Amino acid sequence: MKDVSNKPDSFRSARAQCRLRAPQDCIERLRRGDTDKGDALKTARIAGILAAKRTDELLPLCHPLPIHRAELEFELGEEQVTVLAEVQTIGPTGVEMEALTAAQMAALTLYDMLKPHCRPDQLEITDGRLLEKTGGKSQFRRYLR
């Protein structure tokens, strides 16, 4: 694990995304909040927030950070849902991995709740990437999604 003792605390935020492709009627179920296992979007939001806070347990070389904010949003398309995760901290290192982990775990939660409603080959998690990162020495912004 890299040493971050020399890095000053600063405000840092990161936004990441991934996408779940799913059949139209599954997207409809997300919109109505009525899968057989419950309201998938609201469950996935919680799973993503909890995952953001536990990233350093899941990714062995990540530093523990005091997560100041973690939030998930979902954009429903025709045959896909885009999962957007945003995480903020004041710390010595960035929160990219926290945002990426939150997005992926939220997408996996949606997958888990939709899988009784379609065939496995109709579900795919894709387009997982960092959208924006502020704070620290390097700033990064992806303008197009």
Catalytic residues: 112
Quote the least distance from Cβ 78 to a second copy, whole Å: 19
The answer to whether 99 and 130 have CB atoms below 8 angstroms apart is: yes
57, 51 contact by CB (below 8 A): no
- Which string of x and - marks every residue 9-48 that binds a second copy (by CB under 8 A)? --x------x-----------------xxxx--xx-xxx-
The least CB distance from residue 32 to a second copy, in Å, is 14
Size of the site for a second copy (CB under 8 A): 69
- DSSP one-letter string for 18-81: EEEE--HHHHHHHHHT-BTTB-HHHHHHHHHHHHHHTHHHHSTTPPP--EEEEEEEEEE-SSEE
Binding residues (CB under 8 A) for a second copy: these are 1-5, 11, 18, 36-39, 42-43, 45-47, 49-51, 53-54, 56-71, 88-92, 96-97, 100-101, 104-105, 107-109, 111-113, 115, 119-121, 123-130, 133, 140, 142
